Amino acid sequence: MVRKISPSRTPKQKIKNNIIRWLAYVVILFICIVLSSAGSYQKPLLLIPAAIYISSFSKEFTSIIIGIVCGLMTDIICGSLLGFNAILLMFFCIITHLLYKNLLQQRVLNFIVVSAVFIFIQGVLNYFFFYAIWGYSNVSHIFFYKTLPICGYTLISGIIIYSVISFINNRLPVE
Amino acid sequence: MGNFFKKNIVRIILCIVALLIGMMLYSVTQRGYTLPTTGAIGTILNPLRSAVNTVSDKVSSSIKIFTDKKEYQDQNKLLKEENAELKNQLVEYEKTKQRLAELEDFMEIKEEHEDYKFSDPCTIIGYVTNDPFHGFIINKGSNNNISLYDPVVTSNGIVGIISELSETYSIVKTICSPELSVGAISANGKYSGIVEGEVLLSDEYMCRMIYLDKDTKLKSGDLITTSSAGNLFPPGYLIGTVKSLENMESGLSKYAVIEPAVDFKTLSSVIVITDYSGKEASDGQKN
């Protein structure tokens, strides 16, 4: 049985909880980076769902920072133009923050829908700017056999990331 | 939500977007030289990339052994378990053997081409995530006298060029990429064209030689080497063999499907030609 830590009461406990929670997020993001850059196979871009989920319960400025950091790391591991995914993820994260602040509740279905939309947009823009725009022959093959499967893998792996981060949030509640 | 747009945060977002766009434009002007921050992050990530890649290789080798087990059972039921163990050892042995053979071959090409200057053998430490054209990262960079657009080869043939350069690592664009065009000529010197990657062929680790006449007599098995056209590679280096001849989409010319001499699936180390006669002219053209 895992003992759930009760919500912290003193400011000192709150700070301690926050530090441990953010350290755990950093470790998760780091693992996501390492896993996303391993092997020559098609892989999910784990940083996208991680950034989206973290920004769903973070403050607006934190969401922006998370989006930029995860975006830059995605640019580095994918060898894409530095800043491209940073801008995209920054917008995704701030929109996620606003959606959850004003409209949505923390439910797994909401996360799946929101992340599916953003993952698809990222995939389409990535495909458009890095392949379609250059007019390679048979370029649609990349969209159907590379981009879409990667979007699918990312969405599925996002559910695992959601579970892991939710577990951390349950143990160290966001206050 | 309306209040959000009245806050200072919108101004901050706009500033960050401007900064990121500025960074993107700066990256573009760097023409493949990584930004100092990217290089630093890459340097930190590379040992991890390398470690995770090794683990990933081992896991896939183990899975392969497991999936092939049935075949072994049919072939030799009595030695099933022993066979699996030996196979494990064999994978390691083959890897070491391949590495040794590659190093020996590198020594040979060094002796064959005395006018070329080669880097030390470079190990592949990772792959560009989800790159459909099989780009990869090597563990040598500008600190090892490697420059941008330097040819990357093995003893078997050409691999690609350095497309992004940092101090401690480089990214290699392979000949499977449509972004890379290599001047090519058949080994008998009769047919010349351009070798480039193609989306569908890159799935099979192949490329194609375009701009061939409709009446070309190239046939399956013919060897294709680099020519002096394009100046990206020293001439006379093996690219691959012709697999088949097809009509171009326009119907005006033909292209040859080329099976690269290098086996990209098992490639583990490469060598970079840092200097060769004619390189200065090619650098002039690139600039």
For the stretch B112-148, pLDDT in tens is 777 788 888 898 988 888 889 999 999 888 888 898 8
> Strand pairing partners for B117?
B275
Q: Which residues of B fall within a CB distance of 8 Å from A64?
A: 9, 12-13, 16
Is the dihedral angle over the CA atoms A116, A117, A121, A122 positive or is it negative? Answer: negative
Q: Which pLDDT band, with edges at 50, 70 and 90, does A1 fall under?
A: very low
**A83 interaction partners in chain B (CB closer than 8 Å):** 20-21, 23-24, 27
B280: pLDDT confidence band, cut at 50, 70 and 90? low
Helices (H), B182-235: 199-202
| Option in B42, B45, B199 nearest A139 (CB) | B199
What values do phi and psi take at B136, rounded to 5?
Answer: -145, 170
Q: pTM of the full predicted structure?
A: 0.77
- Any chain B CB within 8 A of the CB of A60? yes
Higher pLDDT, residue B116 or B110: B116
Interhelix angle A108-130/A84-102, nearest 10 degrees: 160
Task: Scan for tokens 């999910």, then name that residue.
Answer: A44
Give A86-131 pLDDT, tens digit per residue. 999 999 999 999 999 998 888 999 999 999 999 999 999 999 999 9
Residues of B in contact with A35 (CB under 8 A): 52
Instruction: Report the pLDDT value the prediction gives residue A3, as an integer from 0 to 100.
Output: 53
**Cβ contact A64–B56 (<8 Å):** no
Q: How far is B145 from chain A (nearest CA, A)?
A: 22
CB contact under 8 A, A39 and B57: yes
CA distance A89 to A66: 8
Q: Which residues contact A98 (CB under 8 A, 6 or more apart)?
A: A60, B1, B4
| Contact: A83, B42; criterion CB under 8 Å | no
Buried b (16+ CB within 10 A) or exposed e, A102-127: eebeeeeebbbebbbebbbebbeebb
Total number of residues shown for chain B: 287
| Cα B68 to Cα B283: distance, rounded to the nearest angstrom | 49
Burial environment of residue B80 by CB neighbours within 10 A (0 to 12, 13 to 18, 19 or more): middle
Task: Look at the alpha carbons of B172, B178, B179, B182 in this order and tell me if their dihedral is positive or negative.
Answer: positive
Size of interface A-B (CB pairs under 8 A): 113
The enclosing H or E element of A151 equals helix A148-171
Residue A39 at interface with chain B, using a CB cutoff of 8 Å = yes
Query: Residue B34 pLDDT > 70, yes or no?
Result: no
Write out the two tokens for B152: 């990357």
How far apart CA A1 and CA B19 sit, in angstroms, is 48
Q: What's the gap in Å between the CA of A102 and the closest CA on chain B?
A: 7
* Tens-place pLDDT, residues A38-47: 777 788 999 9
Mean pLDDT, all residues of chain B:
80
Cβ–Cβ of B27/A33 closer than 8 Å?
no
Residues B242 and B222 sit within 8 Å (Cβ to Cβ): yes
CB contact under 8 A, B126 and A73: no
- Cβ–Cβ of B199/A39 closer than 8 Å? no
User: Considering only CB atoms, which chain A residues are within 8 Å of B203?
Assistant: 141, 145
User: Across the strands, what pairs with B238?
Assistant: B225
Domains of chain A, start order: 11-170 (1.10.1760)
Q: What domains lie within chain B, and their CATH numbers?
A: 36-174 (2.40.10.340), 181-263 (2.40.10.350)
**Residue A90 near chain B (CB below 8 Å):** yes
